[in-house]
């Protein structure tokens, strides 16, 4: 499939016009991709200030994000010293739920999937949290700096066996994935390149929880990698990879898949301007992401709902839009059942994503989670994420108002007529009935609103990003 | 018991579930194909049921070299009474509890692979279990052999039939979609919180409406179709839970009930090809005789009932059930009438298309490795046969290198 | 210094006012409605004698009052207490109560009195699965009948919410209507008695007893007659459990048997196990005495007739009482324990304790133990030990610059010695060897110090990266040490704690507790608060991740918990062996700020 526009048009900035207005659908599309959805207030605010400023705000985060960071870092230190893996997972949910800089969290998730490292093998909460903080620090920074740093990251070194690689027996694991999954993609290097590159990473070890260069285990001999020769060390290899023309294309393709569409396979021509942008900015991720978010392509129909919501997006998105406070631990446990256990990607390739997120079992689990969050009667989620309270807050008191409110909040009104009618019928049919005798009118109304919200969240449309 | 046609009719009549012709799921529109035998090994309908014997099964008292004088020497308290053994070859016999297995062998549906293990065997439960699950010797593996298999079997699901609070096995991790762990059929249902009956029905109506979209092909259509399919499966399974009548009675044991659940899922055609169940308790360090006999009884009776039920439903030639344990046990018994951790042990394969009989010799009791039996067949050779010949996926990709296939399945001219 | 609790003399001769009042009241009511069978004066009269367990509440209204008071009392310590008050679940409960009030035309307290004024009981039947029934013995027949109707209506409406509701069915037993839902819920109301059970057989048994002769009920049974003296007057709630039936279970039988299949169990809890072995029932009761909340376990067997090796747990040797040593209570004590355990006796009578095969291994071990114990054998060492020992767990200040994020408490064990000189000589070399072996794995130095004239030998870990890498710095919680102080041998995890204890160990004295007291323990909230204070970060993380609180709010919650704990005093525990009775008592004294009646 190909969008009906030239690459230049595709990457040119979107400007609202009467036939292509800045509306709720576009606002929510932006917030779904560049954040974890929007609250009703955020939606109204973005509508008012227009796309340019809205994207500015997402790129630089709301004020106070640095204070939040410091606080979160303090919590992380305690968790690392306790070595509690469940708390580690919950901690990241805490960040995703409440950080004033959601785009950075989203990008951290992107990098976690790019440099997919699993605690299942690393077996160190401290290393995993260290890597997570590293990814966050460089989430919107320079990919070059990040790739250098991740090569020396203890979690990565354990995950891909760098620390076991010796002069006599170089381990090829890291060199291979560096080229195949982290920078170039298959077809842009040879097996010989990998063998030579592996020698450059020998002597990279961990001492006292830190990267340590052991010169006596390092193979300092001449190597030929990607057509260049020299006495390369690991950092030289990283630079050689990034200097390869395929590197920028590779990253551009991944960013496209993450922000624009999982369904469309972009051709080289379409990606080239974005790749060029990465090369000319020395791999500045922030400007590449900015280019994507501002582009015509990003707001084109081809990008709209062209991704499946990941379990994390699904769970965090619901709580965020409902302005709820929920124990992140319960959320971390629940998303595992939906197929995404963060800090434990299934392999170094990360999660397959896309259609693989949805099967009979995960769909049932999505129903279960949506119900648990919205019912206010599930002990692990508590009742501080209450759709009925939210509707009251925005004074959506009638059935009609509540229906419109939740459809707009979660679906930007995208539901087809039959679906909307079905929801309306639900409300109509439950206006009366044999409710438990002790329920007050308020209880009954709250129950109907919560159920309405649940029924909105299980719509197929809501499973799309 | 419902026929497929009745089921289809009831769906159409009772709801708008399949109102849209386009979105009738594959398994509903497929005709009687499912009940036909797999037309060739690796055919699309073949099923694999893995039964894990947790704790280290005493292979020597499972498949017994009863004529070997060394057997009598090493096993004094634990020697099995000769007259009660089920002789399957001149010099080997099955444990007295494995009567059902002996019958399956007569029926041409049992393959006994002797002396299975791997090099430098670990005697830690955890490490050895990891090796069997990963199908590799890598340290701290994060992917399992069945998970990797599922990557190649795109579109099919797997089920882990769990005991209460049992975690999903490593063997299934690494699959593209989450593999569900079910304890009972009721787990597989849609959840609602209703205020009264009318409320419940009204909610269900919205659910059905939600899956019946009208969109053109694309992601939304994919979700809608998956939802339709899921709701139909849920409905079918809930009905099955009440109405499934096994063709042969299942014992009341835990394993039998788990296998019955597997049978229900197979019969409901939920699109899964791999099933995983386990039976715990094989770590028999003391007073082994009674415990081990009871466990093998549970295994044999449950597997036999399952296979007979499935055969009667026409799935005989679609099924391979494979048992394994993380290791065998020490040849010499210990002082507490039990056995300690060992190495090589036999595996069983049950199905209409397995190579009926015994594969390989019993490992020598005279040539031991630190008191343990030596393996002659790597377990990955058995995996390779099951992967390449039965499930039709590349064992090389799953196991990381090529293993010679063990002759455990019938080779048929196709 | 610990203060032991006075024992309260309980006897069945003293009948409390309340019971007499209820008895009189029921007699009058009985006269009023004398035209049919007399109404049960006590729910125990509704219970058949063959039950296996009974929980009885004499005055449900009083229990509810006390529970409500306690609930409010501990609220500040509960992390999400404000949240609970606002929760939907709590609102639901309130709505339900209001509905019941409206339907019955009574305030809930009045209603509670009317439907359970003569008491309430929970009854356990010897069926498989266990039948459980609730008996409310009310003062007003109309109120009970109304409650029955309302309860059924409520259950019906809840059933109506289920996907697969349990079918409602009614039948009649002994002229009384029985309403059932599925196979697991049955209700009936006979006059002013309200019955709910999980099994039909249980409800039938109760209805049969209601219609039958109260003289054949549990209230007049032998079992209850024997149990009555062990039930404190005025208890809020008490439970009686038939042990003969429990002991029929193969596992329980094995657990109680000697030689023990798992000897450590008998070494630690042998006294209680022996008493259980010889008792046919037990009684647990809860009561409030002024500001003391008292929980008691009593059994009808005591020190008389205890099996030989288990006498090691008694505070009586060769017919002579040995009063316990006073509790050790250094600053910031969390838990302190003073107990009797005669190691020498356990050793001498080991053949009664250990099964044959284990005994053989043990003897073998003892024979060889001289080799690594430098000449003294394990058995000899044990025979040098005395009978009375003490254990204390206390918060101590960190002794290192490097600090793990949370703080583990220090602990100390003070063993009484029968032969102090010999023991100290025999143990020092092995302990020093352990230290030496340890120094191969971690960097540490040996310190010898004179404290109050006694020699303290301690180990201090070097504060380097190598030691830090072990368990993320877990070593820096400890400075393990030991000392012999008179006839006491002190083993301690922390030097500072040891230094505080040595002068105390030198002081003579015994605990202020009645003769026969074998265990005294005290748990201090203030010590706990101190410990929590040192692990605040961790508690805050828990609040943030489990309750979803913002960090600042989480800090406030933790602070509030700490304040609550530091305003509390302690919980005391005492085990007393009388010749024919065992009594274990737990006492929690509420802080004075709390009003008795809300």
Enumerate neighbours of B (3 or more CB pairs within 8 A). A, C
Instruction: Look at strands B63-64 and B181-182 and give their pairing.
Output: unpaired
The mean of the pLDDT values for chain C is 87
Interchain CB contact of C149 with A (< 8 Å): no
Question: What are the pLDDT digits (tens) for B335-384?
Answer: 778 898 999 999 999 999 999 999 999 999 999 999 999 999 999 999 99
Q: How far apart are CA C300 and CA C276, in angstroms?
A: 9
Rounded to the nearest angstrom, the gap between the alpha carbon of residue C463 and the centroid of all alpha carbons in its chain is 41
C-alpha torsion A310→A312→A314→A317, nearest 10: -130
A 192-231 residues inside an 8 A Cβ radius of C: 208-209
C21: left (phi over 0), alpha (psi -120 to 50) or beta: alpha
Q: Note the pLDDT of residue B182.
A: 85
C152 touches chain A (CB under 8 A): no
Q: What pLDDT, on a 0 to 100 scale, did the predictor assign at position B215? A: 62
- C549 lies within 8 A of chain A by CB: yes
CA torsion sign, B15 to B20 to B25 to B31? positive
With 60 as the cut, is the pLDDT of residue C25 above it? no
Identify whether the C-beta of residue A261 lies closer than 8 Å to the C-beta of residue A353. no
Smallest CA–CA distance, residue C577 to chain B, in Å, is 39
C157:A434 CB<8 A: yes
Q: Smallest Cα–Cα separation from C595: which of C64, C61, C72, C235?
A: C72
SS3 assignment, position B312: helix
The answer to which of B265-274, C145-154, C501-510, C572-581 has the lowest mean pLDDT is B265-274
pLDDT at B27: 36
Dist CA B382 CA B349 (whole Å): 10
| Contacting B residues, span 147-166, partner chain A, CB-CB under 8 Å | 147, 157
Residues B328 and B57: beta-carbon distance below 8 Å: yes
Name the percent of chain A in helix, strand, coil, to the closest 5. Answer: 60, 5, 35
Task: Report which of B308, B376, B390 is spatially closest to residue B345, judged by C-alpha positions.
Answer: B376
Q: Which of A436, A446, A451 to mutate to test the interface with C (most CBs of C within 10 A)?
A: A436
- Top residue of A460, A461, A463 to mutate, by most chain B CBs within 10 Å, is A460
Q: Which residues contact B364 (CB under 8 A, 6 or more apart)?
A: B373, B374
Measured between CA atoms, how close is C469 to chain A, in angstroms? Answer: 7
Beta bridge partners of C572: C522, C587
- C212 secondary structure, DSSP code: S
The nearest alpha carbon in chain C to B335 belongs to C357
Give the confidence band of C37 by pLDDT, cuts at 50, 70, 90. Answer: low
Q: Which helix (H) or strand (E) holds A252?
A: helix A245-259
Question: Residue B396: which H helix or E strand, with range?
Answer: helix B395-399
pLDDT at A84: 92
* Nearest Cβ partner for C88 among A83, A376, A438: A376
Contact residues, chain C, for B196 at CB < 8 Å:
157, 160-161
C160 contacts B196? CB cut-off 8 A? yes
Report CB contact under 8 Å: B200, C157.
no
Confidence band, pLDDT 50/70/90 cuts, at residue C593: low
Burial C234-259 (b: 16+ CB within 10 A, else e): bbbbbbbbbbebbeeeeeeeebbebb
State the pLDDT at residue B21: 27
| d(C-alpha A37, C-alpha A41), whole Å | 12
pLDDT for residue A226 = 96
pLDDT tier, B24 (very low <50, low <70, confident <90, very high otherwise): very low
Rg (Cα) of chain C, in Å, rounded? 29
User: Does residue C558 register a pLDDT over 80?
Assistant: yes
Q: Is A395 on the interface with C (CB under 8 A)?
A: no
CA distance C243 to C249: 10
- pLDDT for C20 beyond 80: no
Mean pLDDT in residue range C259-278: 91
Restricting to A residues 311-330, those with a Cβ less than 8 Å away from any Cβ of C are 324-329
Which residues of chain C lie closer than 8 angstroms to B192, CB-CB? Answer: 163
Query: Between vectors from CA B115 to CA B109 and to CA B121, what angle results, nearest 5°?
Result: 130
Average pLDDT, chain B: 85
Instruction: State which residue of chain C sits closest to A328, comparing Cα positions.
Output: C545
Q: What are the backbone angles phi and psi of residue C411, rounded to the nearest 5°?
A: -140, 155
User: What's residue B25's pLDDT?
Assistant: 35
**Contact yes or no for C153 and A437 at CB 8 A:** yes
pLDDT for residue C450 is more than 90: yes
Residue C81: the pLDDT is 62
Distance CA C56, CA C61 (A): 13
The predicted model gives A447-451 an average pLDDT of 96
Say yes or no to pLDDT of B216 above 90: no
Q: What is the pLDDT of residue B241?
A: 76
- DSSP annotation of B139 reads S
User: What number of other Cβ atoms are within 10 A of residue A170's Cβ?
Assistant: 22
Interchain contact B252–A (C-beta under 8 A): no
Chains A and B form CB pairs within 8 A to the count of 147
C-alpha–C-alpha distance, residues A453 and C23, integer Å: 57
Predicted ipTM beyond 0.90? yes
Phi/psi-derived region of residue A68, left when phi > 0, alpha when psi is between -120 and 50, beta in every other case: alpha
Find the mean pLDDT for residues B111-132: 94
β-bridge partners, B93 = B64, B87
Distance (Å, whole) CA B259 – CA B303: 7
Interface probe for C, chosen from B184, B189, B196 (most Cβ of C below 10 Å), is B196
The predicted-structure confidence for A243-254, as pLDDT tens digits, reads as follows 999 999 999 999
Do the chains contact at B195 and A439, CB–CB below 8 Å? yes
> Which residues on adjacent β-strands are paired with residue C586?
C295, C573
The answer to whether C163 touches A437, Cβ cutoff 8 Å, is: no
Least confident of B14-28, C162-176, C207-221: B14-28
Q: Is the model more confident about B27 or about A450?
A: A450
How far does the CA of residue C450 sit from the closest CA of chain A (Å)? 36
Q: Does B200 touch chain C (CB under 8 A)?
A: yes
Does B195 contact C161 at a Cβ distance shorter than 8 Å?
yes
- Cα radius of gyration rounded to whole Å, chain B: 23
* Nearest-neighbour CA in chain B from C160: distance (Å): 5
Residue C22 has pLDDT above 90, yes or no: no
Is B188 in CB contact (< 8 Å) with chain A? yes
Interchain CB distance below 8 Å, B177 and A358: yes
C75-86 confidence digits (pLDDT tens) = 877 766 666 777
The reply to whether residue A460 touches residue B227, judged by beta carbons under 8 angstroms, is: yes
Comparing CA positions, the residue from C477, C445, C440 lying closest to residue C459 is: C445
pLDDT reported for residue B3:
39
Q: Which of B192, B193, B197 sits opposite C160 (nearest CB)?
A: B197
Residue C587, phi then psi, degrees to nearest 5: -125, 125
Q: Closest chain B residue to C165 measured between Cα atoms? A: B197
DSSP A17: B
Chains in contact with A, where contact means 3 or more Cβ–Cβ distances below 8 Å, are B, C
- In whole angstroms, give the CA distance from residue B255 to residue B168: 16
Which residues of C fall within a CB distance of 8 Å from A446?
A: 88
Helix, strand and coil in chain C, % to nearest 5 = 45, 25, 30
CA distance B320 to chain A (A): 24
Predicted local distance difference test score (pLDDT) of residue B163: 85
Put simply, the answer to whether B209 touches A422 (Cβ < 8 Å) is: yes
pLDDT given for residue C80 in this prediction: 65
Q: How confident is the model at residue C16 (pLDDT cuts 50, 70, 90)?
A: very low
B292-338 pLDDT, tens digit per residue, is: 999 999 999 999 999 999 999 999 999 999 999 999 999 999 877 88
- Give me the pLDDT at residue C491, please: 95
| Closest-CA distance of chain B to residue A133, Å | 23
Give the per-residue pLDDT at C79. Answer: 66
Interface of C with B in 138-177 (CB under 8 A): 157, 160-161, 163, 165
pLDDT per position as a tens digit, C336-382: 999 999 999 999 999 999 988 889 989 999 998 888 788 888 999 99
Share of chain A above pLDDT 70, in %: 99
> What is the C-alpha separation between B233 and B268, in angstroms, rounded?
8
CB contact under 8 A, B197 and C157: no
Measured CA to CA, the distance from residue C341 to residue C267 in angstroms comes to 8
d(CA B114, CA B404): 16
Candidate from A26-35, A37-46, B394-403, C66-75 with smallest mean pLDDT: C66-75
pLDDT surpasses 60 at B22: no
Contact of A159 with A117, CB cutoff 8 Å: yes
Confidence of residue B214 (pLDDT cuts 50, 70, 90): low
pLDDT digits (tens, 9 = 90+) for B43-69: 568 999 999 999 999 999 999 999 999
* Cβ <8 Å between A360 and B192: no
Residues of B in contact with C157 (CB under 8 A): 196
Nearest CA in chain A to C547: A327
Q: What percent of chain C has pLDDT over 90?
A: 59
C470 touches chain A (CB under 8 A): no
Kindly state whether B197 is in contact with chain C, defined as any CB-CB distance less than 8 angstroms.
Answer: yes
| Between C198 and C34, the higher pLDDT residue | C198
Q: Which helix (H) or strand (E) holds A390?
A: helix A387-393
What is the structure's pLDDT at B13?
33
Q: Are A185 and A246 in contact (CB under 8 A)?
A: yes
CA distance A26 to chain B (A): 18
Average pLDDT estimate for A304-331: 96
Contact B91, B66 (CB under 8 A): yes
Is the Cβ pair B142, A346 closer than 8 Å?
yes
Q: Which 3 state secondary structure label does DSSP give A51?
A: helix
pLDDT value at B101 more than 80: yes
The DSSP line for B185-210 is: GGGSS-----SSHHHHHHHHHHHHHH
- Is residue A152 scored above 70 in pLDDT? yes
Question: What are the DSSP calls for A255-279, one per residue?
Answer: HHHHHT-SS----HHHHHHHHHHHH
Name the band, by pLDDT with cuts 50, 70 and 90, for residue A154: very high
What is the separation, in whole angstroms, between the first and last Cα of chain A?
19
pLDDT digits (tens, 9 = 90+) for B38-50: 444 445 689 999 9
Average pLDDT over residues A9-32: 96
Best residue in B206, B211, B232 for a mutation probing chain A (most A CBs within 10 Å): B206
């Amino acid at each position: 499939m190909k969008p009906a526009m030239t690459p230049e048009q595709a990457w040119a900035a979107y400007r609202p016009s009467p036939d292509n207005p800045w509306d709720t659908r576009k606002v929510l599309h932006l917030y779904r991709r560049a954040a974890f959805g929007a609250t009703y207030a955020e939606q109204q605010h973005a509508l008012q200030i227009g796309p340019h400023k809205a994207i500015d705000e997402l790129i630089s985060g709301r004020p106070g994000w640095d204070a939040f960071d410091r606080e979160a870092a303090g919590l992380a230190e305690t968790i690392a010293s306790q070595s509690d893996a469940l708390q580690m997972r919950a901690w990241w949910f805490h960040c995703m739920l409440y950080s004033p800089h959601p785009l950075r969290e989203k990008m951290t998730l992107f990098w976690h999937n790019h440099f997919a490292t699993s605690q299942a093998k690393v077996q160190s909460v401290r290393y995993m949290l260290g890597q997570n903080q590293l990814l966050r620090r460089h989430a919107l920074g320079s990919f070059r700096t990040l790739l250098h740093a991740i090569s020396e990251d203890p979690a990565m070194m354990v995950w891909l066996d760098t620390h076991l690689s010796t002069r006599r027996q170089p381990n090829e694991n890291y060199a291979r994935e560096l080229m195949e999954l982290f920078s170039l993609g298959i077809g842009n290097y040879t097996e010989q390149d990998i063998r030579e590159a592996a020698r450059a990473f020998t002597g990279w070890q961990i001492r006292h929880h830190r990267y340590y260069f052991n010169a006596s285990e390092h193979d300092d001999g001449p190597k030929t990698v990607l057509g260049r020769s020299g006495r390369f060390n690991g950092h030289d290899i990283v630079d050689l990879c990034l200097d390869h023309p395929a590197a920028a294309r590779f990253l551009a393709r991944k960013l496209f898949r993450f922000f624009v569409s999982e369904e469309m396979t972009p051709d080289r021509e379409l990606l080239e301007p974005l790749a060029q942008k990465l090369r000319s900015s020395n791999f500045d991720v922030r400007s590449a992401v900015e280019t994507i978010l501002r582009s015509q392509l990003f707001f084109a129909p081809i990008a709209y709902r062209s991704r499946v919501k990941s379990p994390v997006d699904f769970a965090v998105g619901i709580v965020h839009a409902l302005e709820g406070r929920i124990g992140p631990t319960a959320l971390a446990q629940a998303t595992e059942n939906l197929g995404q256990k963060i800090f434990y990607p299934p392999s170094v390739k990360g999660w397959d994503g896309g259609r693989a997120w949805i099967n009979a079992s995960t769909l049932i689990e999505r129903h279960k989670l949506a119900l648990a969050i919205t019912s206010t009667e599930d002990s692990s989620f508590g009742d501080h994420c209450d759709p009925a309270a939210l509707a009251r807050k925005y004074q959506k008191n009638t059935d009609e108002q509540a229906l419109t409110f939740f459809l707009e909040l979660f679906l930007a009104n995208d539901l087809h007529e039959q679906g909307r009618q079905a929801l309306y019928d639900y409300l109509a049919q439950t206006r009366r009935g044999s409710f438990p005798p002790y329920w007050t009118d308020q209880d009954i109304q709250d129950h109907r609103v919560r159920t309405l919200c649940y029924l909105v969240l299980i719509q197929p449309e809501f499973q799309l990003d | 018991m419902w026929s497929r046609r009745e089921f289809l009719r009831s769906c159409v009549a009772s709801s708008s579930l399949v109102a849209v012709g386009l979105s009738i799921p594959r398994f509903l529109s497929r005709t009687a194909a499912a009940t036909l035998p797999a037309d060739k090994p690796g055919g699309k309908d073949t099923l694999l049921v893995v039964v894990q014997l947790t704790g280290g099964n005493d292979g020597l008292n499972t498949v017994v070299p009863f004529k070997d004088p060394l057997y009598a020497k090493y096993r004094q308290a634990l020697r099995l009474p000769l007259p009660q053994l089920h002789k399957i070859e001149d010099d080997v016999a099955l444990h007295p509890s494995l009567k059902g297995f002996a019958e399956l062998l007569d029926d041409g549906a049992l393959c006994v692979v002797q002396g299975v293990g791997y090099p430098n065997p670990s005697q830690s439960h955890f490490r050895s279990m990891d090796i069997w699950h990963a199908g590799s010797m890598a340290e701290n593996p994060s992917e399992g052999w069945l998970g990797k298999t599922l990557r190649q079997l795109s579109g099919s699901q797997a089920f882990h039939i769990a005991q209460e609070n049992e975690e999903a096995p490593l063997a299934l991790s690494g699959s593209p979609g989450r593999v569900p762990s079910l304890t009972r059929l009721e787990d597989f249902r849609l959840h609602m919180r209703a205020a009264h009956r009318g409320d419940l029905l009204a909610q269900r109506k919205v659910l059905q409406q939600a899956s019946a979209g009208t969109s053109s092909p694309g992601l939304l259509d994919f979700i809608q179709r998956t939802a339709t399919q899921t709701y139909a499966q849920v409905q079918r399974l809930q009905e099955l839970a009440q109405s499934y009548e096994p063709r042969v009675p299942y014992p009341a044991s835990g394993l039998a009930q788990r296998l019955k659940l597997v049978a229900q899922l197979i019969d409901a055609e939920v699109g899964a090809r791999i099933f995983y169940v386990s039976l715990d308790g094989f770590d028999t360090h003391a007073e082994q005789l009674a415990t081990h006999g009871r466990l093998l009884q549970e295994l044999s009776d449950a597997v036999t009932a399952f296979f007979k039920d499935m055969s009667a439903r026409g799935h005989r030639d679609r099924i391979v059930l494979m048992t394994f344990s993380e290791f065998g046990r020490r040849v010499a018994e210990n002082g507490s009438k039990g056995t300690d951790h060992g190495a090589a042990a036999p595996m069983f394969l049950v199905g209409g298309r397995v190579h009926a009989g015994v594969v390989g010799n019993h490992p020598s009791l005279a040539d031991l490795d630190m008191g343990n039996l030596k393996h002659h067949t790597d377990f990955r050779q058995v995996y390779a046969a099951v992967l390449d010949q039965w499930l039709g996926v590349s064992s090389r990709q799953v196991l990381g290198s090529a293993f010679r296939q063990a002759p455990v399945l019938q080779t048929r001219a196709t | 210094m610990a203060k032991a609790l006075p024992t309260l003399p309980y006897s069945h001769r003293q009948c409390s006012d309340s019971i007499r009042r209820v008895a009189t009241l029921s007699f009058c009511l009985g006269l009023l409605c004398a035209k049919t069978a007399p109404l049960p004066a006590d729910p125990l009269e509704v219970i058949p004698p063959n039950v296996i367990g009974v929980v009885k509440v004499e005055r449900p209204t009083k229990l509810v009052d006390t529970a409500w008071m306690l609930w409010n009392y501990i609220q500040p310590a509960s992390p999400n207490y404000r949240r609970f008050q606002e929760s939907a679940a709590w609102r639901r409960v309130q709505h339900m109560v209001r509905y019941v009030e409206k339907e019955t035309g009574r305030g809930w307290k009045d209603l509670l009195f009317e439907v359970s004024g003569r008491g309430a009981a929970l009854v356990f039947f010897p069926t498989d699965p266990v039948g459980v029934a609730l008996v409310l013995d009310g003062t007003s027949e109309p109120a009970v009948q109304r409650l029955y109707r309302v309860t059924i209506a409520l259950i019906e409406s809840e059933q109506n919410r289920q996907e697969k509701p349990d079918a409602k069915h009614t039948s009649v037993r002994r002229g009384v209507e029985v309403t059932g839902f599925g196979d697991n819920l049955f209700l009936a109301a006979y006059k002013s008695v309200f019955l709910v059970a999980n099994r039909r057989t249980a409800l039938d048994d109760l209805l049969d007893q209601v219609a039958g002769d109260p003289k054949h009920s549990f209230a007049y049974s032998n079992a209850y007659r024997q149990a009555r003296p062990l039930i404190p007057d005025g208890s809020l709630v008490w439970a009686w459990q038939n042990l003969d039936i429990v002991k029929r279970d193969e596992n329980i039988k094995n657990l109680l048997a000697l030689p023990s299949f798992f000897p450590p169990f008998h070494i630690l809890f042998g006294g209680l196990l022996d008493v259980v072995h010889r008792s046919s029932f037990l009684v647990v009761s809860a009561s409030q005495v002024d500001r003391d909340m008292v929980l008691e376990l009593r059994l009808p067997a005591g020190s008389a007739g205890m099996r030989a090796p288990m006498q090691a747990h008694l505070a009586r040797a060769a017919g002579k009482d040995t009063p316990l040593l006073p509790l050790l209570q250094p600053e910031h004590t969390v838990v302190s324990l003073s107990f009797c355990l005669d190691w020498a006796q356990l050793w001498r009578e080991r053949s009664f304790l250990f099964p044959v095969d284990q005994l053989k291994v043990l003897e073998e071990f003892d024979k060889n133990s001289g080799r690594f114990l430098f000449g003294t054998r394990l058995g000899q060492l044990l025979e040098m030990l005395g009978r009375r020992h003490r254990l204390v767990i206390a918060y101590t200040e960190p002794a290192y610059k490097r600090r793990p994020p949370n703080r583990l408490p220090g602990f100390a064990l003070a063993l009484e010695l029968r032969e102090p000189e010999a023991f100290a000589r025999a143990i020092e070399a092995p302990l020093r060897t352990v230290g030496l072996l340890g120094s191969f794995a971690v960097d540490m130095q040996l310190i010898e110090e004179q404290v109050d004239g006694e020699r303290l030998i301690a180990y201090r870990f070097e504060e380097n990266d190598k030691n830090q890498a072990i368990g993320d710095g877990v070593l820096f919680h400890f400075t393990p040490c030991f000392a012999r102080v008179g006839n006491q041998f002190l083993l301690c995890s922390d030097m500072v704690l040891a230094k505080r204890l040595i002068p105390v160990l030198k002081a003579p004295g015994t605990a202020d507790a009645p003769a026969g007291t074998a265990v005294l323990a005290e748990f201090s909230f203030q010590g706990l608060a101190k410990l929590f204070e040192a692990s605040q970060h961790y508690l805050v993380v828990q609040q943030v991740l489990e309750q979803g609180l913002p960090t600042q709010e989480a800090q406030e919650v933790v602070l509030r918990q700490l304040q609550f704990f530091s305003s509390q005093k302690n919980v005391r525990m005492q085990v007393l062996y009388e010749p024919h009775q065992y009594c274990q008592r737990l006492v929690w004294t509420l802080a004075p700020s709390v009003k008795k009646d809300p």
